[in-house]
Amino acid sequence: MHSDALIALLPFLMMTATAVAAMLAIAIRRNFALVNGLVGGGIVLSLLSLAPASHRAPVQVTELLRMDDYALFFIALLLLAGLAVLGLCHDYFKEREGQNEELPILLGTALLGGSVLAASSHFASLFLGLETLSISLFTLIGYPVEQRRSLEAAVKYLILSGTSSAFMLMGIAFLYAESGELSFGGLGRFIASEPAMNAVMVSGVVLIVAGLGFKLSLAPFHLWTPDVYEGAPAPVTAFIATVSKGAVFALLLRLFVETGGYGFAPLRPVLSLIAVLSILAGNLLALLQTNVKRLLAYSSIAHMGYLLVAFIAGAAIAKPLVAESVTFYLAAYFITTLGAFGVVSMLSSAQLEAADMALFRGLFWRRPYLAGTFTLMLLSLAGIPLTAGFIGKFYVFTSGADGGFWGLLTAIIVGSGLGIFYYLRIILAMAMEVEKIEPESEEKFVGLQSAVTLVVLSLLLVWFGVFPGDLIPYIHALAGSFGK
Amino acid sequence: MIAEASPVSHILPLLVFFGAIFALTAVMLGGAYFLGQRHRTPRAEEPFESGIVPTGDVHLRFSVHFYLIAIFFVIFDMETVFLFAWAIAVREAGWTGFIEALIFIGILIATLIYLEAIGALDWRTRRQRREADRRQHGSDACTGP
């Protein structure tokens, strides 16, 4: 049992060791490529160590962590996303002044936090994971210290994230005060034994939903998103959009299934309202954006709204189907978002962050491959068939329709319609003929690692869009064992 | 129990107390405002420092190093807090606990090495460090011209 637990924890141990080793490497010699390689190697080792861990799954490691197939899949997803971001970071930061060596370490610790979240089955590990993730993110967002916007974004994220953590802690304290339980399972048993929830429990649940809603940037708590996405360096934005949100969503689903939160009827209208608001607000605000990073930020708000619909459907349909929909959608969303921000990151130079729509005008004629990749990613975000985004949206629809949530589905349809407009607007801008070829001395910045990352992401996007059957069996298996 | 039975009578003295405070403050501030004389001269705006003319600004700039050192102090102080907690239960925690504490201390030592190597524990400012460097192996450069 003891060695089982240790083997199950191997991915976490690897990541921790990587962070410490990379730190010592900096102490000996400052070299960006070296640290990058070290952290990349560490992530690969953690990925490999998932295999022995999966033989032992499901293992409950102390009361805090539950390493089952669900957790392992999400850890793998997060680590792969981390690897992609690391590749983008390498090319993005290698030309820049300053000491960039700490950046990979921070990515590693953020990944560790996210992975702990995906595996946590206890409020203590939830909070530990969340804070490890957020505190690494503050520094990552503000990493280019000389740039005003990054600093502003970092301070905004620090304050708002701190507030939301405080909300969540208060909520956890309320739940604990009533039930005397901090583990999800224990809380579930307490809720099941109580005929009705009292005011303290309700306030606790509401506070926790608010806290998690902030991390997922769902509608009433979304105000930080565009500013932070805009200010953060493009690869870090990709990281926030994928790893931080994916980990929190994985946690949210586990929290709800294990505590029996679905049985708590008053929460359903609240969540439905949040989902509809996110879809509408995200899509409407994205319509007239001229900044691509802000546009993608609003689109990510909308996507979290879609995902929440599949999540809400869990009240009426079987839990494995919910887990399957959410997991597939997140996987597709990860690939797409990483790709989209990857293009922005590749276009950015040390002097200029490529966020303005004007910079994308006529991109097809200047950088055809990059523009093609971006088009692919945008089509997937819009949910056009033959991309992974379509299958993801199909899953969301299936879940919603199975549960009979027609109002929410209407919101998705309206949102998707709006979405197509602004995604196509970027594609149109990229296809536009530019009259004068500017005498831009902008040297074609091509990073090998970014290029490889983007190619892999594009291939995955199309592969899972055309042959979703290659991914679905795994997700189906993990979903089947989830929540037992 | 009496307090719970009759909360209104219990609160009443408190309300009177707060009311009295507000009234007193209002009389003091309002009295000075309405009865006091006003004159606008540049000197009248300056703070009164026992007749000495004030100099300088209150917006002092602290070196960022103060904050760094303060944060390191908090971090390494927390280490001792955890170690104290472990020390109380050292027998019950057994060898597993010992190994875990070793790992914990090991990570902190690695941090310390890192901090030392990047010069975060150096109190001098960047300029002072540069000047010290120049003084050390630049004595011939100084005497040159």
CA proximity to A450, closest of A334, A347, A368: A347
Cα Dmax for chain A: 73
Please give the average per-residue pLDDT across B81-88, as a whole number. 90
Looking at the DSSP assignment, which residues form a beta bridge with residue A60? A66
Q: Say whether B107 and A28 touch across the interface (CB within 8 A).
A: no
A20 touches chain B (CB under 8 A): yes
Question: How many secondary structure helices (H) and strands (E) does chain B include?
Answer: 6, 0
pLDDT of residue B23 exceeding 90: yes
Write out chain B residues lying below 8 Å of A26, CB-based: 114, 117-118
Q: Are A241 and A166 in contact (CB under 8 A)?
A: no
| Distance of residue A27 Cα from the nearest chain B Cα, in angstroms | 5
What is the pLDDT tens value at each position of chain A, 484 positions in all?
478 888 889 999 999 999 999 999 999 988 888 999 999 999 999 999 999 988 887 888 888 999 888 999 999 999 999 999 999 999 888 878 778 889 999 999 999 999 999 999 999 999 999 999 999 999 999 998 888 889 999 999 999 999 999 999 999 999 999 888 899 999 988 888 877 778 888 889 899 999 999 999 998 899 999 999 999 999 999 999 999 999 999 999 999 988 887 877 788 889 999 999 999 999 999 998 899 999 999 999 999 999 999 999 988 888 888 899 999 999 999 999 999 999 999 888 877 888 888 888 888 888 889 999 999 999 999 999 889 999 999 999 999 999 889 999 999 999 999 999 999 999 999 988 776 555 454 555 568 888 899 999 999 999 999 998 888 888 888 888 776 5
Q: Which residue of A has its CA nearest to B111?
A: A23
Q: Say whether B114 and A23 touch across the interface (CB within 8 A).
A: yes
Residues of chain B with pLDDT > 90, as a percent, come to 25
AA letter at A124: A
AA letter at B49: E
Helix axis angle for A319-347 and A388-403, nearest 10°, is: 150
| Distance of residue A24 Cα from the nearest chain B Cα, in angstroms | 6
Q: Say whether B114 and A24 touch across the interface (CB within 8 A).
A: yes
Residue A23 CA to chain centroid, in angstroms? 26
Burial class (CB in 10 A: 0-12, 13-18, 19+), B22: exposed
Q: Say whether A26 and B117 touch across the interface (CB within 8 A).
A: yes
A26 touches chain B (CB under 8 A): yes
CA proximity to A326, closest of A416, A381, A379, A249: A249
Q: Who among A16, A20, A27 is closest to B117 (CB)?
A: A27
- What is the Cα–Cα distance from B54 to B57, expressed in whole angstroms? 9
- ipTM reported for the complex surpasses 0.95: no
> Which structure tokens are listed for A172?
């956890």
Check residue B144 and give its pLDDT: 40
Please give the average per-residue pLDDT across B105-133, as a whole number. 85
Q: Are A254 and A121 in contact (CB under 8 A)?
A: yes
A145 touches chain B (CB under 8 A): no
Domain map of chain A by residue range?
2-436+443-481
Q: Are A154 and A141 in contact (CB under 8 A)?
A: yes
Q: B interface mutation test: which of A2, A15, A23, A139 has the most B CBs within 10 A?
A: A23
- CB burial readout A356-368, b (16+ within 10 A) else e: ebebbbbbbebbe
DSSP 8-state secondary structure symbol assigned to residue A314: G
Using 50, 70 and 90 to split pLDDT, how confident is the model at B8? Answer: low
> Which structure tokens are listed for A411?
């919101």
Residue B46 phi, psi (nearest 5): -75, 150
Q: What is the DSSP string of A321-343?
A: HHHHHHHHHHHHHHHHHHHHHHH
Please give the average per-residue pLDDT across B39-44, as a whole number. 77
Q: What is the reported pTM? A: 0.86
Write out chain B residues lying below 8 Å of A16, CB-based: 107
pLDDT of residue B55 exceeding 80: no
Q: Which residue of A has its CA nearest to B114?
A: A27
- What is the Cα–Cα distance from A11 to A244, expressed in whole angstroms? 18
Write out chain A residues lying below 8 Å of B118, CB-based: 26-27
Check residue A57 and give its pLDDT: 74
Say how many C-beta atoms besides its own lie within 10 A of residue A116's C-beta.
Answer: 26
Segment holding A61, helix H or strand E: strand A59-61
Write out chain B residues lying below 8 Å of A28, CB-based: 117
Q: Say whether B116 and A27 touch across the interface (CB within 8 A).
A: yes
CA proximity to A103, closest of A133, A140, A137, A78: A140
| Distance of residue B111 Cα from the nearest chain A Cα, in angstroms | 7
Check residue A443 and give its pLDDT: 52
| Distance of residue A26 Cα from the nearest chain B Cα, in angstroms | 7
> Which structure tokens are listed for B28?
């003091």
| Distance of residue B13 Cα from the nearest chain A Cα, in angstroms | 31
Name all contacts of A16-20 with Cβ < 8 Å and 24+ positions apart.
A16/A112, A16/B107, A17/A42, A18/A42, A18/A43, A18/A45, A18/A46, A18/A108, A19/A105, A19/A108, A19/A109, A19/A112, A20/B106, A20/B107, A20/B110
Q: What are the distances in angstroms from CA B126 to CA A29, A109, B111, B115? A: 20, 29, 22, 16
Check residue B2 and give its pLDDT: 43
> Which structure tokens are listed for B93?
């925690």
